[in-house]
Structure formats: structure tokens, C-alpha cells
Structure 1
Amino acid sequence: MKKFIAAITVAGVLLSSSPMMGQAALGDRVLKQGMQHSDVTQLKQALKASGHLKKPVSNYFNYDTKVAVMAFQKSKGLKADGIVGKQTIAKLPIHKSSNVKGVSSFNVNALVAEAKKHASVPYKWGGTTPRGFDCSGFLGYVFEQSAGVQLPRTVDAIYQKGQKVAKPAVGDLVFFETYKKGASHAGIYLGNNQFIHSSSSKGVSIASLNSSYWKTRYIGAKKVTH
């Protein structure tokens, strides 16, 4: 079973064990190739959300990141030098999911875009790749690819780690009691009472919390925690 990615700051910035890590906000430093920092994680999440980065998110500014930055800068009419300063950051689609201590912060746009990209992928028991997903395999893949966050392998384990919220926000997880007592199914909340999940009958698809089936089985929503 995979473990959640390490500690989160009060400002909602994902941290790692790198000695360069700090608690400053994105934009307080210039980012360029060769750097390893939590700000790079946020940069890559935003680049992924804008469609300029295809590779998995990490906290390392590699050559692929530079190429993605240059393409983004060119699309915004900025100097395409691959160096990320305040002008470039100001144009990035940055949208944090939470500023609550202990709760993972990630780019919600990137998360939703990654999830929707796999619409119609078939359901596969034990599946964790775009060749086929089961319920928790889909969640794990989407969070790791879009936000660099590793979820536990099973729905009940994810439910135990999550922080309960009274009402879901976009990017939160919604849980259901289906074939056994307790949390046994989950999806990513999209807003307007809709969520995306990997259904055993329809594969990756969007459903409504108001449907007669899901409404009676809904047990609550949670934010992803470290």
C-alpha cells in the first residue's frame, strides 16, 4: 500500500525532504532548470493544467519542465527563456484546494483535467492504469499524475486518512457505502453535485450525487490529508 506524500505547510505548499524546501509562497523566488523545491511542484501542476506539461508532477525542474515553461511563455506573449519569474507566475492557472494545516494543496484544475482525460476508460478489477481502473486505482492514478500525491490503495484506507468536510468542494473525495459496510466506493467531486469515478458498470464516468442510486449510498466527503 502506498503512503501519502509527506508534510504540508500552513500555507498549503507540498513539502519534501530536500534541504532547499521552505515555506515561502510561489513567486517569492525565480525558478529555473536544476532547482528542486516545493514551488516547482506547484509550477508543474499549473503547467499540467494548462496542457503544456505531459509528464508526471514532481518537485524537480528538469529539461522537460523548461520546455513546457517556454511553450507556456510563448503562448502568453512572454519572453520564452524557460526561467520562471513573477511575470510568468502571474499568468499561471494556479488554484489551491485548501489552506488548512495538514491538508494537501494542489491545483484543482489539473486534477479535474487529468480525471476527465480518462473518461470512458473501462473498469478493471485491480486496475491502476489507463488500460483499466478500479475505483481506488483511478483515484490513485489521477492524484499522483496531477498533483504528485500518493493515495492508499483501498477506498476504506483513503477514507480513514481523509479530513471530513460538511460539504464537498471541487477536488474533494466523495464516499459511498455499496457492497459492504463502510466506505467501499469513492469519486472526485466536480461541483454542481457531480463527481467522476470508475464505475463497475460504466468505467470512468460522471455521475450525480442526486441520482436515486448514489444519494441513498452517500456517506460523506473528505479532503486529502498527508
Structure 2
Amino acid sequence: MKKLVMSLAVAGAIFAAPTVTDAMSMGDRGGDVRELQQTLADEGYNNASNVDGVFGPLTLAAVQRYQLSNGISSPAGNFYGVAGPATQSSLGLADGSSASSSSSTSSTSNTQVAGTSSSSDASAMISTARSLIGSPYVWGGMSPSGFDCSGFINYVFNQHGESLPRTVAQMWSAGTPVSNPQPGDIVFFETRTGPSHSGIYLGNNEFIHSGASTGVTISNLSSNPYWSSAYIGARSF
């Protein structure tokens, strides 16, 4: 399944932190990200100009280079590009005992495969989403008269009694990472820096979303090169 096993990128580092921070991924921001970037720069894996506290493609590439060079992960690994406990510990950002215990917890949470909703709930949600195909794109829109991408997802989930964060970045941070999305999960894309577009996964590499030029429509992750290259991961709720 093209791109759907793409590892999530993470950032989180400290000049001398006593404990392990949570694993961070593409789109994360803040002091932990800045410290990770600086530590990678000190080690020669990141450009000093890329110390801005935003985990984007340059930070992802730096983490991947460090993991490859130090035998932590590879392109075949589930956590390639994820600055989890093993990467943080190797960088000297946490002690080994904390990293070991956190690694077990992180591994459990990050390898979850299925979403939290039952298949019947997902089916009903997808039916609602499909009924909205053709609704126009409207910036900030949250009703059938017009949706932006996160407004569309919020509307569909709200129809089934579930409340989600309003923005794409907030949804990315709040959801549970899944390596292989299931129908009803949310797939995310980096169309600008960090997670900036999202849709509801339908299965068979398809997702439904409100596109700026299309309104609510169904697109394919594998056959559409734009979406396959922009895909950064999935979350369940």
C-alpha cells in the first residue's frame, strides 16, 4: 500500500534533559523540537540554520540520517524518522533506564493498527461523508453549504457524536498514531510546512476530503502523485 507505511517524523531534544520526552512527529513545534534540532546540528546531522522549533522535512531528514548512521532505524523500520526514546537516549537527551521504559510504552502506542471506532460506526460515518460529495470548499466553512478540510471532518464526526479539535494541526497532535489506517481514521498531508490538510480514510487507498479546488471529493493515495508525496501519516480517534 503505497505511502501508507511511511514512518512518521518526530522531533524532541534537549541540551541536557534528565528524562525522556514523548516521541514527536512531523508538524510538532516548540522548545523540545528546537533542542532536538540544535543537538542534531551539534552532531553534524542538521544545518544550524534549521533550528527553528518546527519539525518539518529538514528535521525529518536529519533524524533519519542520525538513525541510519547510529544503527537505530532504517527505511524498513516502523519508526524511521521518529525521534522516540531510543533516538533521544542515543543523542544524550535522556538516561538509558528512562529510555528503556518509555520505549516500551512508545512502541505500544505507535504501532496501533486499528482505530478506536467500531466498523459499524466507521461505516455510518463514511456514509455521512459520502452524502456530502459535491459540497463546495469555503475557507473556515463547517456546514454543507461550504467546508474547509478540517471543517468537513469536524462536521462528519459531530453528526455521530464525536467532537474533534478544529484545526488540522490540532487533530494531528490529539489523535493516536496508526501505521496502517483503517476506514474512519484521518489521514494527513503536508501541503505547507507541517500537517496542513486532512481527510477521512475510506479503505483501498481512498480518502474523502474537502479540497480547495474540488470541494468534497474522493481522492486516491496511490494513484495521485500529489497526495502520495504529501502524505505524512494517519491518526485514529
TM-score (norm 1): 0.52
Q: Does 1:196 align with 2:190?
A: no
Q: Identity of aligned pairs, percent?
A: 52
SS at match of 1:222: strand
Q: Please state which structure has a larger fraction of its residues in helix.
A: 2
SS at match of 1:137: helix
| Distance (Å, rounded) in 2 between the aligned partners of 1:218 and 1:171 | 17
Q: 1:188-226: CA deviations, max 9, x gaps?
A: 0000000000000000000000110001000001101xx
Alpha-carbon distance, 1:134 to partner: 0.2
TM-score (norm 2): 0.50
Pair 1:161–1:199, CA change in 2 (3 A)? same
Equivalent residues in 2 for 1:53-92 (5 A)?
none
**Letter paired with 1:155:** V
Q: Does 1:205 align with 2:214?
A: no
Unpaired runs of 5+ residues, structure 1, are: 1-98
* Counterpart in the other structure of 1:108: 122
Unpaired runs of 5+ residues, structure 2, are: 1-111
- Identify which of 182, 189, 196 aligns with 1:169: 182
* Counterpart in the other structure of 1:31: none
SS at match of 1:198: strand
Equivalent residues in 2 for 1:1-226 (5 A)?
103=116, 107-145=121-159, 147-179=160-192, 181-210=193-222, 211-224=224-237
Alpha-carbon distance, 1:103 to partner: 3.9
Which consecutive segments of 4 or more residues in structure 1 shift more than 3 A?
102-106
Q: Does structure 1 conserve the Cα–Cα contact (< 8 Å) formed by 2:149 and 2:210?
A: yes
SS at match of 2:200: strand
Q: How many residues align?
A: 124
| Distance (Å, rounded) in 1 between the aligned partners of 2:123 and 2:232 | 25
Q: Does structure 1 conserve the Cα–Cα contact (< 8 Å) formed by 2:117 and 2:184?
A: no
